[in-house]
Structure 1
Amino acid sequence: MSSVAFVAPQASLAKLEATSDYSRYQNRAGKSAFVGGYDEGENTVNQALTSMAAMFVVAGGVRWRERRQRVTLRRAGGGPSTAVIGSPQETYQELVDKSEYLRDQHWTKTFHAGFMGGAYVGMAGLLSLVIGGNMASEFITQKAVFAALFPINLLLVLTTGGQLFTGNSATMAIGVYEKKCTTKDLLRNWAISYIANIFGCLLIDAVARYTGMFTGGAQEMAVHTVMKKCSATFGQTVVKGIMCNWLVCMAVWLCTMAKDLSGKMVGVWFPISMFIAIGFEHSVANMFILPAGIFSGAPLSWGDILVKNLIPVTIGNAIAGAFVVGAGMSFMFGKLGKKEDE
């Protein structure tokens, strides 16, 4: 049986320096491209994946502790319900109730909630640009980090009462299908939240530009991202918008279904990370990213980003919210799926 001996750090370092592998690693120091074996870029990917894994381990631990507390309360004969998620029917009813709440909300509160929602999206986008843009590998690390960090925006929005046009597109449509809201109510909410989202995102763009944060890797990533977003055809961009908001509205659905913070976090994280990693288009996120690209030096005009991206993406997002998710959920759990004589 082999034994393990303790070796002093100085001796280990001297022995390591004598090997050819260490010399090759030293020669590669400072390079960001993958050149086989271990290097800085691979280490960064491992760190990003390790951070994501640690986040979900912590969330699982918190959820386990909450469940144990509920079990203890139940055995004692008191305390709240032990359910950690609602049923699909309960979740649908919550969204119907929310549509009524949004219908009756004063426009100033809708605008404020939309402004804050846009600001949260901008903050998450800026975080993703600053960290992801300075990672080593454009195709692996940057996208993985962006997908891991960006979902924080929706968690902040949904847990603080903020509003996004994208989520409201489904919620208000459900209210219309259930005859709790009118089409006029829907269009009013969509318009106010959309405009407010723009102002919220532009605020974060202005702050980032004023403080000099659109530099280095963040600047390069912003320009590259915007150029790519404006390179597809109108039809392709509409379809990307549909697929994106389908996932976003499902994140809203899962967050509404979850009854504890850790469940909401998990429910939000995966659908949002999924649309980022695939490359679908989110109108509110683009309200931040597109101006960030222009401020960073992208050779595009404001008209270019509107016609080539924001307008088709908005159309696609609205279609997904109103018809794919809104009508689909009403057909499953609401009036659209009921017979006339019921």
Structure 2
Amino acid sequence: MSYVKPTELVTRMIDAGESKILMSTRDTIIRGFMGGAMLAIGAVFAVSVSTQTGEPLLGALLFPACFVLLYLLGYDLLTGVFTLGPLAWIDKRPGINLAGVLRNWGLVFVGNFAGAFLIAVLMAIYFTYGFTTEPSAVGHAIGEIGHGRTVGYAEHGAGGMLTLFIRGVLCNWMVSTGVIAAMMSDSLPGKVLGMWLPIMVFFYMGFEHSIVNMFLFPSGLLLGAEFTLWDYLLWNEIPTVIGNLVGGLTFVGIMLYVTHYRTAPKRVAVFRPNGKSFAASPTKVPADMLDQR
């Protein structure tokens, strides 16, 4: 399988961010809509597997299937553009500014939410035979997730909010790693493997993903779970979005950009008058002391 080295990888990331910011409104919303819908289907699949087998690890192992498909099809998630878009702005690509980055985030958010909410409605109908019966076991499990990840955090007050934020940060550290991992290879098997591993980790660890939650929590409300829309927004979605932004941009995008694209000068050999040498930054020593070999 082909491997793209980190220096070229960061260039691809910046190019991708530029392309997404310059994309038309129509295409941005369509790709966001399909990304949100497909990821929601993946979440239903994983919860179904975990519930019916009693093996959460198996659900986590299979969850990346729809994530991989949506990125291979060129769709977008908010968590991914959180990482890619700002790099094109930081790199001062022509026509890229902060307003363009925020526009891209807003449009992808709307598209993701619309797609995830559609699947929430469709699956609520599926789990209840058109709202004529009690939810199935999987529907009940989804409702419990919504309750535990809203009211459950609220019960711990500030500590719960901090935990929620940290889970959002850790989530997009893994998810954005999966997004860029698709760029680490030019072969289909390499792209799939690169995306699969970090996404499996995020799901099994129970980290908070704002797009997955756009499905889980509206679905829980439709299925009669005991939490409110305000609980969902305050004690999950808003802190999760902020955590996802911090995690993806800080620990994936900027870290790679700084160390592989804006690399600091290498240390060089410096010779003292007595002939002994040591390594130091070339900006901190006189030019006549540098090793000229």
TM-score by length of 2: 0.82
Amino acid at match of 1:124: G
Q: Out of 243, 267, 270, which is 2:197 matched to?
A: 270
Instruction: Structure 1: give runs of 5+ residues left out of the alignment.
Output: 1-82
Q: Out of 78, 93, 114, which is 1:165 matched to?
A: 78
Q: Does 1:133 align with 2:51?
A: yes
Amino acid at match of 1:200: G
Q: Does 1:186 align with 2:101?
A: yes
Aligned residue number for residue 122 of structure 2: 207
CA RMSD of aligned residues (A): 1.9
Q: Out of 55, 70, 86, which is 2:4 matched to?
A: 86
The CA deviation at 1:132 is 2.2
SS in 1 for 2:92: coil
SS in 2 for 1:211: helix
Does the Cα contact within 8 Å between 2:173 and 2:248 map onto a contact in 1?
A: yes
Q: Out of 24, 28, 37, which is 1:110 matched to?
A: 28
Aligned residue number for residue 320 of structure 1: 247
CA shift digits 1:130-150 (9 cap, x unpaired): 332222x3xxx0x21320221
Does the Cα contact within 8 Å between 1:133 and 1:220 map onto a contact in 2?
A: no
CA shift digits 1:180-234 (9 cap, x unpaired): 2321111111111011100000111111122336832202211221122112221
Structure showing greater relative contact order (alpha-carbon pairs closer than 8 Å, 6 or more residues apart): 2
Amino acid at match of 2:138: A
Distance 2:135 2:185 in 1: 39
Which segment drifts farther, 110-119 or 224-233? Answer: 224-233
Q: How many residues were matched structurally?
A: 253
Distance 1:98 1:282 in 2: 22
The CA deviation at 1:321 is 2.0
SS in 2 for 1:92: helix
Q: Does 1:217 align with 2:144?
A: no
Aligned residue number for residue 302 of structure 1: 229
Does the Cα contact within 8 Å between 1:177 and 1:330 map onto a contact in 2?
A: no
CA shift digits 1:221-255 (9 cap, x unpaired): 11221122112221111111000000011111211
Does the Cα contact within 8 Å between 2:170 and 2:247 map onto a contact in 1?
A: yes
Distance 1:307 1:317 in 2: 15
Q: Does 1:95 align with 2:13?
A: yes
Q: Does 1:153 align with 2:66?
A: yes
Does the Cα contact within 8 Å between 1:134 and 1:216 map onto a contact in 2?
A: no
Identity %: 27
